[in-house]
Structures are given as structure tokens and as C-alpha cells.
A = this chain, B = another copy of it.
Amino acid sequence: MDKSTLRWNGWGLCDAPDVLGDNAEGIWQWLGSYFGMGTLPHTPAVALEQASLPPSRLNASQQQELAAIMDAQRIVVEDRERAYHARGRSYHDLLHLRAGRLQTAPDAVAYPATAAEAQALVAHAVENDIALVPYGGGSSVVGGVTPAPTSAQRAVITVDMALMNQVLDINKTDMVTHCEAGIYGPHLERCLQEAAVTLGHYPQSFEYSTLGGWIASRGAGHQSNKYGKAEDWFVAATLATHKGMWHTETFPKSAAGPLLRDLVPGSEGVFGIITDAWVRIHELPEKREYRAWFFQDFESGVNATRALLQHDVPTAMVRLSDADETFFYSVLHGGADVAENGPMGFCLMLVGFEGDAATVEYGAARAETVLREYGGADMGASLGAAWLETRFETPYLRDPMLDRGLGVDTIETAVSWERLPQLHQTVCKTLTEVIAANGPQNDTKSIVMSHLSHSYRTGASLYFTFVFPRNGEDAIGQWQTIKTAASDAIVAAGGTISHHHGVGEDHRDWMKTEKGPVANALLHALKREIDPTGVINPGKLLS
């Protein structure tokens, strides 16, 4: 992954095309008018040269010591690299990066090429009290890769795993692949698909995130109904830790006590650096079918989704947008003309099936029966095909919004079916109200929308997106106020603080509350045991 081609302060390729295409101008005009802002303002990011990047605390002799572990060229102290790694890619991160506030930049970026090098780096960090930040694709939206403030003396090295990008083995008897953790999504799938298999994990960040990052954050891909969430397809890992290499259990199942490997997904690098992992694979789907369905209201769609799951209908994906999201995406794809009609009230569901022909045909036929039962109307295959084609474009919308005085953020949760409707309602209401009271205008308008994107027998995840006029004078404070209100509302409604984004710095306090005192004490005991001096990813997950 050549980082010189990627934006150091935004999403993806520097020269990515405008994803709104011909609709762009109309949509910006519509948004300006919707928010009562007239023509949207021009609010560009500062250039790297104008940014305030503190000097690296890593002196020449320290760099030389590191060169004993790995090739000196792979210990990078160059400005752009340090700026690139200063933060993840949340809205909050972008506010800082775009303003050129780079106080969190690491003192160096190290690129280990082998597990042995990663382990040597950990040992060196322990011995010299240097903080390490494990880094995959850096796409965290919860402050998961932001170097935490340290004392003036304590250097921070970000450990970028990008050179550890090999598929080591594809075992088609066990349907498991063994890969280095720094492999990016597209490279991994290319290697697997050449062997006619797939991991099937396609998170929104797929293009710029890694296997190790997916595991560390308990990520979820679009087709999680078939392929599972990271903790489901995860089989085993090797971690470079303060206490040496940790090889987790590898068995298909075991009753030999609690499985400690279950602590790896979601560990966010605080126990050690994942150097390689074994994960489940599937045969490349013989057939794919994605269809769109319309529902009269969100509740009917939710009930239909629940029925699909609880009646064992084999879907790959069920993605149900509420009326506001259905409307917003119809504007994005259809242009500003579509906006004139306003929200129509109905809700779009995309249902996907993947696998061998028999599974897909059976699943699609059963789903049709169930969805009709709940009042669904079949809208054919074209919307599903369009979604499949453009699904990785959405993150690219954020930078142009930030260039135009807007703010946009997302939060997500998982909750039981029983509590889901109430949570949906209360979080949308909270977001609307908190934005109204904390924007640049009186009663600031917002776009608040949601979809259900991952479903289980006992509940589902909800994902909220909100767009709003940015408070230019205190954008960070505005974000913090909105984030806190929405997170409190999620927790009060019985949801978890995260279904797949993770904890990082941003969700620490809520995680502490939801785990409770006994579980928190256990987590801290684990951390004390495996990293007694707190060298590995300090400030993350635990508070």
C-alpha cells in the first residue's frame, strides 16, 4: 500500500474521482438550501506544510538502536509519514488533521517485515520504555490508532504492519487460510480468489483496512449474515507481546477451559501486536443475487428481517434503511430533482444471497415468501446491483462535505429485537435535538438517518449517519456534545456502545459502564499480566 498516493488527512486516493459525478452541483445546492446556508462555504483543509508537527523525540542514537532490529529504512521519521499516522479517520480525527493539529503524531513509524521483527520491536520498547501503537490500515473511527499523549521523554512508535502482507497458506480441506496480519482487503481477496475461495469480509473500509485491524476491532463486513463477523471467522492468531510470542488455540472447537483466543478479537492491540492469523474461508460463490424490497415503514422491515433470521433463511446480507436514509440515498443517486418530492415514507431493504446455486435459490425463494408476508414489495435486481457496484464510495463523500462547511459522522450499536424500535426512535430524536441546540444557527437543521445492517437470531445492529452545518468556531466541541448525547441515548436504550467500530479512545467510558466493575477488573488484570508496564497501545480500550 503506497501511502504517497493516499490522502494524509482524508479518505483514500489523493486523486479519487468525485463520487457524486454529474449530480454534484445540484446536490450541494440542495444541501445548502436544506440547511438554510445558501451557497455552501469554502472551508478547505490546511496543507501539510502549514500544519504544526512537533519534532520527533526519537534521537539519532535511539534510531540507531532500532536499526539493530530492522533495516533503518523501515524506521521512518519523515514528516508526511508521521502526519499520515497521527490519527485514524473519524470525523473527529479529520477535524484535527484538516486544521493541521498534529500534536498526536508518532515520533517514528516502524515497518516490521516479520513476526520476529515485530517481537524484537516489542522487546526493545519494553526495555526502553517506548510506547508502541499497532497500526493496520489506520481507518479507525474511534481513535484506535491515535498515539496517546505521553511524558516528554517517552517516545511513541507507530508499528505499521503493511509489509507483513503475505498469504502464507490456503488449506482447502479445513477451509482456513493463514495470513500475515498487515494484508489489505483487496490484496487478500485477490490472493484468495485466485485459489477460488474467499474470506467474504467486506467492511465499508475494505479498500484501506487490514486483516489484523478487522480482528483487533471485531469488524463486520457487508455480508456478515453468511461469512460472519470478525470474531466468527477468526480461528487463531499469533501476537507479539511483552511476554513473548503468544500462539492462541487453533482447534475447530474445544472444551479445554475458556478459550483465550476469544480475547483477541476486540483487543485493539492492547495485549500485543497481531502478526498473523488463521481465518475461515468459503468457496467462491457460484451465484450471487441481490434484490431490493420496499416496506411501508421501518417496523415492518425490522419484523421481516427478524423473521428471516429466526426461520434460518440463508441470506448473505439484509440491509434495511429507514425512510430518511432511503430518501437521502435516492437523492444521492438520482440527483437533486428527486429531493423535490421529499421523503416518501417507505423503506428500502437490500437482500443478498451468495453461495452455491442450490443455497441461493432456496434462500431467495424462502425470503420472498417471508418478505411478502410482512408487506414487502419486490423492486427487482437493479438497486441491489447499483449498491454492490458503488458500496465503497460512501466514505469519499466525507471530505467534500468537510470542504463545504458541513459535518458528518456515524455511530452504531447492536441491540435486542425487542428494544430495537425504541432505540431507533430515541437515538434519531436525540441526534436531531442535540444538533439543533448546538449548531451555528438557531435550531440548526440536520439530516439524521439509519439502517439495520447486521442481523442475528437475538437482535441486530443499527447504524446512524448524521449530516449537519459545522460549527466553525468550535467544531470539536460541537462533535463532542453530539457524540456524548447520542452515545448516552444508545446505552440508555439498551444498546452496546459499538457493534463493529470498536472502542479506541472515544468509547472507553461507555465501555467501562457497559462491562461493569467485575469485567473491568478482569480486563485490567489481563492487561497488567501481559503488558505490566503499559507499553502496547496505552490509552486505548481501558480507562
Q: Which residue of B lies closest to A171 (CB)?
A: B418
Q: Across the interface, which residues of B come within 8 angstroms of A522, CB to CB? A: 260, 263, 526, 529-530
Q: Across the interface, which residues of B come within 8 angstroms of A110, CB to CB? A: none
Instruction: Knowing A174-B417, A256-B266, A457-B175 are in contact, say whether A521-B515 is a contact too (CB < 8 A).
Output: no
The reply to whether B519 and A253 form a contact with Cβ atoms under 8 Å apart is no
CA distance A465 to B497 in the complex (A): 47
Say whether A495 faces chain B, with CB atoms less than 8 Å apart: yes
The reply to whether A458 and B241 form a contact with Cβ atoms under 8 Å apart is no
- The 0/1 profile, CB within 8 Å of B marked 1, for residues 276-316 of chain A is 00001001000000000000000000000010001110100
- Interface core residue of A251, A257, A264, A280 (most chain B CB under 10 Å): A257
Q: Contact partner of A525 among B241, B355, B518, B528, CB < 8 A? A: B528
Say whether A21 faces chain B, with CB atoms less than 8 Å apart: no
Q: Contact partner of A229 among B253, B256, B524, CB < 8 A? A: B253
Q: Across the interface, which residues of B come within 8 angstroms of A521, CB to CB? A: 243, 529-530
The reply to whether B529 and A241 form a contact with Cβ atoms under 8 Å apart is no
- Interface core residue of A235, A249, A312 (most chain B CB under 10 Å): A312
- Interface core residue of A267, A514, A529 (most chain B CB under 10 Å): A529
Say whether A244 faces chain B, with CB atoms less than 8 Å apart: yes
The reply to whether A498 and B244 form a contact with Cβ atoms under 8 Å apart is no
Q: Contact partner of A414 among B175, B254, B280, B416, CB < 8 A? A: B254
The reply to whether B258 and A454 form a contact with Cβ atoms under 8 Å apart is no
Q: Across the interface, which residues of B come within 8 angstroms of A206, CB to CB? A: none
Say whether A247 faces chain B, with CB atoms less than 8 Å apart: yes
Q: Name the interface size band of chain A.
A: 35 or more
The reply to whether A525 and B529 form a contact with Cβ atoms under 8 Å apart is yes
Q: Contact partner of A251 among B247, B251, B495, CB < 8 A? A: B495
Q: Across the interface, which residues of B come within 8 angstroms of A251, CB to CB? A: 414-416, 459, 495-496
Residues 495-514 of A at the B interface (beta carbon under 8 Å): 495-503, 507, 510-511, 514
Distance in angstroms from A487 CB to nearest chain B CB is: 11
Q: Report the stretch among A4-12, A356-364, A378-386 that lies at the interface.
A: A356-364
Instruction: Knowing A173-B418, A310-B175, A519-B248 are in contact, say whether A501-B255 is a contact too (CB < 8 A).
Output: yes
Instruction: Knowing A459-B251, A514-B249, A518-B530 are in contact, say whether A267-B258 is a contact too (CB < 8 A).
Output: yes
Say whether A265 faces chain B, with CB atoms less than 8 Å apart: yes
CA distance A418 to B248 in the complex (A): 19
CA distance A359 to B176 in the complex (A): 27
Instruction: Knowing A249-B496, A251-B496, A495-B251 are in contact, say whether A458-B280 is a contact too (CB < 8 A).
Output: yes
The reply to whether A217 and B280 form a contact with Cβ atoms under 8 Å apart is no
Say whether A187 faces chain B, with CB atoms less than 8 Å apart: no
Say whether A366 faces chain B, with CB atoms less than 8 Å apart: yes
Q: Across the interface, which residues of B come within 8 angstroms of A252, CB to CB? A: 414-416, 456-460
Q: Contact partner of A256 among B264, B310, B503, CB < 8 A? A: B503
The reply to whether A500 and B255 form a contact with Cβ atoms under 8 Å apart is yes
Instruction: Knowing A312-B355, A457-B280, A525-B528 are in contact, say whether A256-B496 is a contact too (CB < 8 A).
Output: yes
Q: Across the interface, which residues of B come within 8 angstroms of A243, CB to CB? A: 517-518, 521
Distance in angstroms from A221 CB to nearest chain B CB is: 13
The reply to whether B457 and A515 form a contact with Cβ atoms under 8 Å apart is no
CA distance A292 to B258 in the complex (A): 35
Residues 381-418 of A at the B interface (beta carbon under 8 Å): 414-418
The reply to whether B517 and A256 form a contact with Cβ atoms under 8 Å apart is no
Instruction: Knowing A229-B253, A255-B500, A518-B241 are in contact, say whether A174-B523 is a contact too (CB < 8 A).
Output: no
- Interface core residue of A246, A247, A515, A517 (most chain B CB under 10 Å): A515
Extra contacts besides A249-B496, A311-B356 (12): CB < 8 Å: A220-B253, A229-B253, A241-B518, A244-B518, A249-B514, A251-B415, A252-B460, A255-B500, A256-B515, A257-B267, A257-B511, A280-B458
